[in-house]
Amino acid sequence: MIKKEGSFKYLEIKNISKNFGETFVLKNIHLDVFKGEFLCLLGPSGCGKTTLLRIISGLERQTNGDIVQDGLLISNSPTEKRDFGIVFQSYALFPNLNAKQNIAYGLENKKINKKEIEKRTNNLLRLVGLEKYSDQFPSQLSGGQQQRVALARAMALSPGLLLLDEPLSALDAQVRSKLRNEIKLIQKKLNLTTIMVTHDQTEALSMADRVVVMERGHIAQIGTPFELYENPITPFVADFIGKMNLLKGKYDKKNCVFYYLNNRFLISQNTEYSFLENCLLGIRPEDIEIIKFRKNIEKEENILRVKIKEITYLGTIFRLTVVLESKLEENIFVDVISNQVISNNLKIGDFIDIKLKKEKIKLFESNL
Amino acid sequence: MKKLFSFAMGAAVIGTALAPSANAWWWGKKGSEKASITVYTALEDDQIPNYLKSFERDYPNIEVNIVRDSTGIVTAKLLAEAENPQADVVWGLAASSLLVANDRGLIQGYAPKGLSNVKPSFRDPAKKPSWVGIDSWISAFCVNKIEAQKNGLSIPKSWADLTKPEYKGHIVMSNPASSGTGYLSVASRLQNLPSEEDGWNYLDALHENIAQYMHSGSKPCKAAGKGEYPIGVSFGYRAVKQVNMGQPIEAVFPKEGSGWDVEANALIKKDKIKPAAKTFLDWAISPEVSREYAKSFAITAVETDVPLPKGFPSNPEKQLAKNDLQWAAVNRERILAEWAKRYDGKSAPK
Amino acid sequence: MYFKKNFNKSFNILLLRILIIFVFILVSFFIIIPLLPLFLKSFSDNKNNFIGLENFINYIQNPSLTQSFINSLKVAITTTFFSVLIGFIYAYALTRTRLPLKKFFNTFSLFSLYIPPLAVAIGLIYIFGKQGLITQGFFGTIPGFDINLYGFNGIIIGEIFYCFPQALIILVSALNLSDQRLYEAAESLKASPLRKFLTITLPNIKYGLMNSFFICFILSFTDFGVPKVVGGNFNVLATDIYKQVVGQQNFAMGATISIYLLVPSILAFLIDKNFQKNEASLISGKSIPFKPRKNLIVDSIMFIFCSLILILVIGVFSSIVLASLIKIWPYDISLSLQNFRFSNVAGNGYEPYFNTVFMSIYTAIFGTIFVFFTAYLVEKFKPLKKIRMLIYFFSTLPIAIPGLVLGLSYILFFNKPSFSVPFLDFQIFNPFSLLYGTMGILVLANIIHFFTVCFISATTTLKQIDKEFEEVSESLKVPFYKTFLRITIPLSLPTILEIGSYYFVNSMITVSAIIFLYPAKIPVSSVSIVNMDDAGDTASAAAMSTLIVLTSLFVRLIYEFTSRNVSKKSSVWINPLET
């Protein structure tokens, strides 16, 4: 089949826009999806990710723009003429058909003989690990099992493209993470080009080859999970993928110094920042150190004295919510490993010094 | 789903089993080989089967679909279907109603065989008469003797008696707007007092005593028969019949004379007039069926040798009050409007 | 460039569009367009000359006719008040108290739905008429009591019998949607029972309450059967139309009065529709159903109240049966079946009865198919949004069109072989005129007359079925009609059966829509009840009523049996409609 992943564009989304009257839902979306790739559309509700998926499927029609699938222009093709399988959040399993009949539903409409249908249905049941449940009705299956039937049904016609619309969000946490792995495995096994819509960043980061972060109808950033986490290009992406503290201040590009209230922070040199002046400083909570018990604080750079406002236990780490005395309303989050908090006996109301790791500081254009 | 289908199938099976043919239930009774005619009539339900016996015997190849309703309804149907007439023949409808239909051009003149036997006053004088009568029906009172006694009422003998205060709330009569019988009573009162105004004054007084104006000609008599009200202003055949059935009824033919109208036949004007329709009209004034009419009615259009039915006054012709059918037809709309204005609706029972 | 997929046009979408337009044409021709000749007629004299508003002015100037309008309003307002009040108390007893024998009361409460209003009125004659059981003190065994049945009193009693179960159905479902937690919260805040009632119960059911007001108003404002039989000289609009058309052959005035009947109904309809628009479910999916607590006083009062209502309903039905079996009421009270012979009374023996049964079967089959398919097209698809919205609007309209008005407009529309185009010498053939004079027009009138309720219940069911089923099918390349047959219909089967039985029962008992319409060759039993009553053959009318009620009950039993089987079968799907 395909020699190398990502070697050719399977799906091209060209300048797609969608508006309802005056309101834009999608604005000039360009996106290429490679053969065999697992792509996630990630964003908060209302960002247009589901609409984009539905436009790809033909269930919704774009206002402008084109879609090319496997070299064919399908912009105006009706849904039933497009080559894809879809799984909905609600599974949409036919309640009056059992698991097997649900999976065979699309096959029975094709002119395939019964034996062949039987064989393929059984293969699919095996693929999703439900051989034993073939005669059960959806209501007799657990949520996870239902989702697997829905997945098998979507793959029954061997589509070139698999579309998943928030497939896991109705499941509880444990089942969800198990299914994540299974879907990913099946997808890789079949080398099936897959687009999944989700609002859950953990899901996106753990499953996708590439993630498309969407914000209010446009693409904020496209990249591998690692790229997005390490190099978010907008404060929105930065805060949506993981957590990031954003402090508004002034940048002195000559000296590579960022002024926040009357604190100054040294910033690693970076040509990209050269045009910034009033901007945002971004730092992830885990990139802030507590340095309460060190001496010679004055010699160290990028230090802030803060007061602990809240301590939240998150398992292996604690998240501290701290504030500057001069700006009580702005919360800064600091992640510290648990024993550090326990051994230092940190309490609400304590004053501590924190240090922002210089090499981890990012600057963003301020559009706030 | 199978169940639904089998249910529907079952229904269809029952349908075909019970019906002469499934098609007939859809299109109405329809003989496929027989000639078939639709006859509108206002004759009484309990008369029709007897009358039709001789027709069915003599013309087995003609199927007759009888549509029976009260005078008002039959007339309304004729007018409603003006553009798309359903009836072929009208049999036994008030002549005053047929005159209205003729006025709208719905009737085809036709001279049935044996027309010469019909008394001149019982037909349209035209050469091809638009209507030909079969009998005359006359108004009468049905008085329930048991209920009258219970309420301490004497038996009324005349129209004038009916306005006595003792009868207040005890009299029912037919509504002239819907019933031919009701109309002939009203029309007769208006023609038989010194002036029409006196007529209306009489009706005003009568109205004071009326408990209810009823829809049909026979209902007041039947209501009296059941004791629902002691006195019903109805018509002769009905009263006599109920007496003979053994109901506690006395048939009263009012002293001043009865209102009357002619029950008449007519041919409906349509693109294709069926020969069977004419056959029916010929039969409908034949001596044989006229004898049957005579068993129910004191006065028939064709003279017969049948003795006067029991219960009618011995000289029925003398019982007839003065009546001009043409006048009754021409003034019908005006009289009904005036009547409605005076008595209809204002008379909520207190 | 790229290869363009050459089959952009989808056969299925084309088919769908054609179907939607087809259904649009049908509902237009069956619901809206027949009203036009009626309007035209109201502006014409009897010879079809245009006379403008003259009929309307004549109407207003005729005191006896305007009196009918006032009478109709009086009847409607009084009936609505009592029906909703009784319906509410009964519904409250069923849903919010620990009423003893609740199941029994629940089942029998709707008993009067199977008794034609005409038959109710006939039953009332035998109870409250001059020779009625109560008036005469059970054949003179106890002192009698005369309520003066003929007129306003009789109409009101009859109409309440007719309307109260309708209010009951709506209010039971409104009261069933309750949230125990709200009452618990109120209790924890020490709210008095009255306060709870005023602040929780009433606001929760206000849409249901409004809706039942509206339904009862329209039903009692436009009903024909009850005033026809026990109205005496108390005229109402419905009987006026009948008298104008039937007694005076005055179609123009009949049409004019129809407009006077139609306008308040449509107004009530629009007010209700506007009101219901604001309806947002106050009860969330997580709500806990209300569990009534024992309250000896309330429960006993409710028990007495509900028993009284049931005794009346069963009493009316029994008196109909009794009247049909008694030889000559009240003079010879021996039992006989002679009244069931129908040979010498108005209405052609048993033919009307069988015609009616077949008419009802046809109505049930074709009506259910048509209504369900219409709802399906409106509810499940995206193309032609405006047209679908119009179909929806048209489909909700028939509930505001009184049966007599529908019948009169059908007769004016369907008996015309062709229409002339105004100002042009040109005739258009009216294909629907072929239906005139056949069973078809009766079936059609019934389908449309009862369309709204069936349509709403079909729509509600379809709404509960996941819209994504259609999308999944599309993605699986399965055409919509296969999914319709294989998924939608099986899932909707309980509702489909319900619609079928609703159609059947209502076609059995209806009179107003078909009294002007029944072809001469096809007499129907409800009309022969009117005719028998008109002719004074009340006992035979009672006998025919008995047959109708028993048939309706029999069909309802078949329905209960079938639907129990269906739900047994579908129980593995465990309420598939709840997502």
- Gap from B219 CA to chain C (nearest CA, Å): 4
Per-residue pLDDT tens over the stretch B67-92:
887 787 788 778 877 877 889 999 99
Per-residue pLDDT tens over the stretch A287-343:
998 886 556 666 667 888 889 999 998 888 889 999 988 888 889 999 988 888 888
User: What is the percent of chain B where pLDDT is above 70?
Assistant: 89
Contact at CB, A157 and C473, closer than 8 angstroms: no
Return the residue matching tokens 């009240």.
Answer: C330
The pLDDT score that the predictor gives to residue A118 is 92
Is A180:A25 a contact under the CB 8 Å cutoff?
A: no
The pLDDT score that the predictor gives to residue C3 is 52
Which overall architecture, per CATH, does domain C10-60+346-571 show? Orthogonal Bundle (1.10)
- Gap from B130 CA to chain C (nearest CA, Å): 20
pLDDT band of residue A368 (cuts 50, 70, 90) is low
Residue C418 has pLDDT above 80, yes or no: no
The pLDDT score that the predictor gives to residue C187 is 86
- Give chain B's domains with CATH numbers: 30-136+261-314 (3.40.190.10), 138-259+319-343 (3.40.190.10)
Asked if the C-beta of C417 comes within 8 angstroms of chain B's C-beta atoms, the answer is: yes
pLDDT band of residue C316 (cuts 50, 70, 90) is very high
Return the residue matching tokens 């609002």.
Answer: A199
Residue B17 has pLDDT above 50, yes or no: no
Q: How many domains does chain A divide into?
A: 2
Clarify whether residues A170 and A87 are in a common domain.
yes
If one compares C563 and C93, the residue with the highest pLDDT of the two is C93
Residue A81's domain is classified under what CATH number?
Answer: 3.40.50.300
Mutate to test the interface with A, among C476, C486, C491 (most CBs of A within 10 A): C476
Q: Which of A238, A268, A303 is the last residue of a domain?
A: A238
Determine how many CB atoms are found less than 10 A away from the CB of residue A20: 9
Clarify whether residues A189 and A301 are in a common domain.
no
* Sheet (strand A278-283) strand order: A263-266, A257-260, A245-252, A278-283, A362-365
Contact at CB, C439 and B19, closer than 8 angstroms: no
Clarify whether residues A183 and A300 are in a common domain.
no
Asked if the C-beta of B75 comes within 8 angstroms of chain C's C-beta atoms, the answer is: yes
Q: Residue A105's domain spans which residues?
A: 9-238
Please give the backbone phi and psi of residue C326, each rounded to the nearest 5 degrees, phi first: -90, 140
Least Cα distance to B285 among B301, B304, B266 occurs for: B301
Q: What is the mean pLDDT of residues A96-101?
A: 92
Per-residue pLDDT tens over the stretch B166-215:
999 999 999 887 788 999 999 999 999 999 999 999 999 999 999 999 88
| Cα A58 to Cα A53, A94, A152, C7, distances in angstroms | 9, 21, 21, 14
Is C569:A92 a contact under the CB 8 Å cutoff?
A: no
The pLDDT score that the predictor gives to residue B1 is 38
- How far apart, in whole angstroms, are the C-alpha atoms of residue A96 and residue C465? 12
Return the residue matching tokens 């598939």.
Answer: C576
Which H or E run contains B267?
strand B260-268
Per-residue pLDDT tens over the stretch C327-356:
887 778 888 888 888 876 665 678 899 999
Q: What is the mean pLDDT of residues C560-566?
A: 87
Residue C521 has pLDDT above 80, yes or no: no
Where residue C226 falls (left for φ over 0; alpha for ψ -120 to 50; beta otherwise) is: alpha
If one compares A264 and B111, the residue with the highest pLDDT of the two is B111
Q: What is the mean pLDDT of residues C482-496?
A: 92
Q: Which of A238, A258, A273 is the last residue of a domain?
A: A238
If one compares A361 and C177, the residue with the highest pLDDT of the two is A361
- Gap from C157 CA to chain B (nearest CA, Å): 16
Q: Would you tell me the crossing angle of helices C63-96 and C206-222 to the nearest 10 degrees?
A: 140
- Gap from C169 CA to chain A (nearest CA, Å): 29
Clarify whether residues A224 and A343 are in a common domain.
no
Mutate to test the interface with C, among B14, B178, B213, B343 (most CBs of C within 10 A): B178
Per-residue pLDDT tens over the stretch A155-178:
999 899 999 999 998 888 888 889
Per-residue pLDDT tens over the stretch A233-242:
998 999 888 8
Alpha-carbon dihedral angle through residues A332, A338, A340, A344, given to the nearest 10 degrees: 90
- How far apart, in whole angstroms, are the C-alpha atoms of residue B229 and residue B147? 8
Which H or E run contains A258?
strand A257-260
Per-residue pLDDT tens over the stretch C127-172:
998 888 888 887 777 787 888 899 999 999 999 999 999 999 999 9
What residues contact B63, with CB distance under 8 A and at least 6 apart? B29, B31, B34, B35, B36, B37
Residue B98 has pLDDT above 60, yes or no: yes
Longest CA–CA span in chain C (Å) reads 101
Determine how many CB atoms are found less than 10 A away from the CB of residue A329: 6
Clarify whether residues A177 and A289 are in a common domain.
no
Least Cα distance to B221 among B206, B207, B203, B242 occurs for: B242
Q: Does the model's ipTM exceed the 0.90 cut?
A: no
Which H or E run contains C534?
helix C525-534
Clarify whether residues A282 and A225 are in a common domain.
no
If one compares C243 and B4, the residue with the highest pLDDT of the two is C243
Return the residue matching tokens 């056959």.
Answer: B279
Residue C5 has pLDDT above 60, yes or no: no
| Cα C102 to Cα C167, C308, C309, C310, distances in angstroms | 18, 14, 14, 12
Least Cα distance to B181 among B138, B213, B141 occurs for: B138
What residues contact C464, with CB distance under 8 A and at least 6 apart? C577, C578, C579
Clarify whether residues A352 and A295 are in a common domain.
yes
Q: Which chains touch C (3 or more CB pairs under 8 A)?
A: A, B
In a domain, A247, yes or no: yes
The pLDDT score that the predictor gives to residue C280 is 59
Clarify whether residues A232 and A247 are in a common domain.
no
Taken as a whole, chain A contains a residue count of: 368
pLDDT band of residue C454 (cuts 50, 70, 90) is very high
Contact at CB, C487 and A97, closer than 8 angstroms: yes
Clarify whether residues A59 and A128 are in a common domain.
yes
Mutate to test the interface with A, among C7, C475, C489 (most CBs of A within 10 A): C475
Of A273-282, B55-64, B321-330, C91-100, least confident by mean pLDDT is A273-282
Instruction: Please say whether the structural domain C62-276+290-336 has been given the CATH code 3.40.50.10800.
Output: no
- Examine residue C330 and say whether the peptide bond preceding it is cis (omega within 30 degrees of 0): yes
Q: What is the DSSP letter of B123?
A: B
Residue B269 has pLDDT above 60, yes or no: yes
Least Cα distance to A105 among A65, A153, A151 occurs for: A153
Of C317-331, C371-385, C407-421, C469-483, least confident by mean pLDDT is C407-421
Contact at CB, A139 and C570, closer than 8 angstroms: no
Clarify whether residues A348 and A209 are in a common domain.
no
CATH 1.10.3720.10 residue spans of chain C: 10-60+346-571, 62-276+290-336
Q: Which of A215, A238, A261 is the last residue of a domain?
A: A238
Least Cα distance to C528 among C514, B76, C318, C243 occurs for: C514
Asked if the C-beta of B145 comes within 8 angstroms of chain C's C-beta atoms, the answer is: no
Alpha-carbon dihedral angle through residues A260, A263, A266, A270, given to the nearest 10 degrees: 10
Clarify whether residues A258 and A302 are in a common domain.
yes
DSSP structure string for A284-352: -GGGEEE-TT-S-GGGSSSEEEEEEEEEEE-SSEEEEEEEETTEEEEEEEEEEEHHHHHHHT--TT-EE
Determine how many CB atoms are found less than 10 A away from the CB of residue C431: 10
Contact at CB, C535 and B66, closer than 8 angstroms: no
Asked if the C-beta of C348 comes within 8 angstroms of chain B's C-beta atoms, the answer is: yes
Clarify whether residues A204 and A277 are in a common domain.
no
Contact at CB, C10 and A140, closer than 8 angstroms: no
